[in-house]
Amino acid sequence: MTSEDLLQPGHVVKERWKVMRKIGGGGFGEIYEGLDLVTKEQVALKVESARQPKQVLKMEVAVLKKLQGKDHVCRFIGCGRNDRFNYVVMQLQGKNLAELRRAQPRGAFSLSTTLRLGHQILKAIDSIHQVGFLHRDIKPSNFSIGRLPSNCRKVYMLDFGLARQYTTATGEVRAPRAAAGFRGTVRYASINAHKNKEMGRHDDLWSLFYMLVEFVNGQLPWRKIKDKEQVGLMKEKYDHRALLKHLPSDLRAFLEHIQSLEYSDKPDYAMLSLLLERCMKRRGVRESDPYDWEKPIVTQSQIPQTPAITTMTTPAPLSPRNNNQNIQPDNRKDNEVELDALCRRARKLEADATQVTPTNTDKQAITIDRNCNHDHDNTSSTLTTEQQPEHPTRQPER
């Protein structure tokens, strides 16, 4: 925290919410972790200066109230204003999806985690559209997981400051403006947003599509380009089917659906949801499976090294390659029993060979010893790691 922060640790807002620490901030305001002195629960306080030219908390509160009772939405606790700042108090959540992805060893999620996150995010987007609003800033850092044992596997939608009502009082879709201005985050914004067109429901889904690609690949092709116009041109010329290289082919239908939609069209949320569910089913993904951040991260140095087991050597003229060949232990018990029997037989024959002149029997012993090594190599198991793209250069979201 700095002296320029709107709130300092220990400050109590409206004699109820005690500020503990600052946990975030940006061009539109600051976010603090606080303690509700009445309920004793930890809360999030979102604050903006009362003198700030562009004020967004009014929209945040309006949308948050509309969404109460919906899945994937934080619980609204309170709001208010004074001559210094405006504020809203809501349920405190855990880490956001951008943080969780970057914390992965290769900066990417597994396909299992990606599909399940996409399914939850799609439901959250459907929820806000149902109450007549567009989010207009769909990106990983605007989705968090719960921080309590009861909700730590649920994804929550955050930050409604850029939301816009797309329906009239009668529920009709509002007429689009000729020029709406850019809204969103460059990396995940739709082509329509780059063209300053009025955004529709499908534009939120375009941002979800880009998120899914980044989750699996660890990056998007335009991640290093800072200029908004250049990114827009690249997206317009890019063959988006190429982005699906590491995603299930089923998701081409997702891309084709959002490509077919115009401003006023209603997306087929049910079809897209079934599409993701089908992808999960075909790949054996279960909702109960651990997410990537729930798994212990094991580095190469932490993998225990199993000592090599070598066969006994004899005076017989075996090659150094066979004498020194390592046997990898196998997890299959039946193979181990069979191998052990073969090796014991080979050792007995080898011991006999040291007491007599080499005969055909000794040659047989040598053959058995070689087969013992060879057979076990064929049955040994191999540890493999999932093939994922290299960790990208970490660029801040624009």
Question: Tell me: the pLDDT tens digits for 92-104?
Answer: 999 999 999 999 9
Residues 81 and 132 grouped into a single domain: no
CA atoms within 13 A on the CB side of 234: 17
Indicate whether 281 pLDDT > 70.
Answer: yes
Residues 26 and 107 grouped into a single domain: no
Indicate whether 398 pLDDT > 50.
Answer: no
Residues 111 and 59 grouped into a single domain: no
Q: Tens digits of per-residue pLDDT, 178-226?
A: 989 999 999 999 999 999 999 999 999 999 999 999 999 999 999 999 9
46 is in an annotated binding site: yes
Say what the pLDDT of residue 4 is: 79
Tell me how many domains the chain contains.
2
SS (H, E, C) 127-192: HHHHCCEECCCCCHHHEEECCCCCCCCCEEECCCCCCEECECCCCCECCCCCCCCCCCCCCCCCHH
Rounded distance between C-alpha atoms, residue 141 and residue 156, angstroms: 11
Choosing from 74, 91, 108, the residue where a domain stops is: 91
Indicate whether 171 pLDDT > 90.
Answer: yes
Three-state DSSP state, 69: coil
In 10 A of CB 295, how many CB atoms?
12
Residues 128 and 274 grouped into a single domain: yes
Say what the pLDDT of residue 272 is: 98
Q: What residues contact 296, with CB distance under 8 A and at least 6 apart?
A: none
Q: Does residue 1 belong to any structural domain of this protein?
A: no
Say what the pLDDT of residue 332 is: 46
Indicate whether 390 pLDDT > 50.
Answer: no
Residues 198 and 82 grouped into a single domain: no
Q: Does residue 324 belong to any structural domain of this protein?
A: no
Residues 71 and 129 grouped into a single domain: no
Name the pTM for this structure: 0.75
* Amino acid symbol at 21: R
201-217 and 111-130 helices, crossing angle to 10°: 170
Residues 87 and 101 grouped into a single domain: no
Rounded distance between C-alpha atoms, residue 257 and residue 236, angstroms: 17
Q: CATH number, domain at 227?
A: 1.10.510.10
Q: Does residue 164 belong to any structural domain of this protein?
A: yes
Q: CATH number, domain at 37?
A: 3.30.200.20
Q: What mean pLDDT do residues 268-295 have?
A: 97
Query: Which among 143-157, 294-308, 334-348, 377-391 has the top mean pLDDT?
Result: 143-157
Residues 165 and 82 grouped into a single domain: no
Indicate whether 371 pLDDT > 90.
Answer: no
Place of tokens 């922060």: 5
Q: Tens digits of per-residue pLDDT, 115-126?
A: 999 999 999 999
Provide the token pair at 113: 């985690």
Say what the pLDDT of residue 249 is: 92
Choosing from 56, 72, 91, the residue where a domain stops is: 91
Indicate whether 3 pLDDT > 90.
Answer: no
Residues 84 and 99 grouped into a single domain: no
Say what the pLDDT of residue 394 is: 41
Mean pLDDT lowest among 22-26, 136-140, 255-259, 329-333:
329-333
CB of 33 within 8 A of CB of 41?
Answer: no
Range of the domain at 102: 95-283
Residues 67 and 206 grouped into a single domain: no
**Active-site annotation, residues:** 137
Residues of the chain by 3-state class (helix, strand, coil), percent to 5: 40, 15, 50
Mean pLDDT lowest among 26-30, 39-43, 140-144:
26-30
Q: What mean pLDDT do residues 247-258 have?
A: 96
Across the chain, mean pLDDT equals: 84
Mean pLDDT lowest among 51-60, 258-267, 335-344:
335-344
Place of tokens 């004699």: 15
From start to end of 155-282, where are the E strands? 155-157, 164-165
Q: What mean pLDDT do residues 222-247 have?
A: 96
Residues 87 and 99 grouped into a single domain: no
Say what the pLDDT of residue 25 is: 83
Residues 233 and 107 grouped into a single domain: yes
Indicate whether 386 pLDDT > 90.
Answer: no
Q: What percent of the chain has pLDDT over 70?
A: 73
Q: What mean pLDDT do residues 284-293 have?
A: 97
Q: How confident is the model at residue 28 (pLDDT cuts 50, 70, 90)?
A: confident
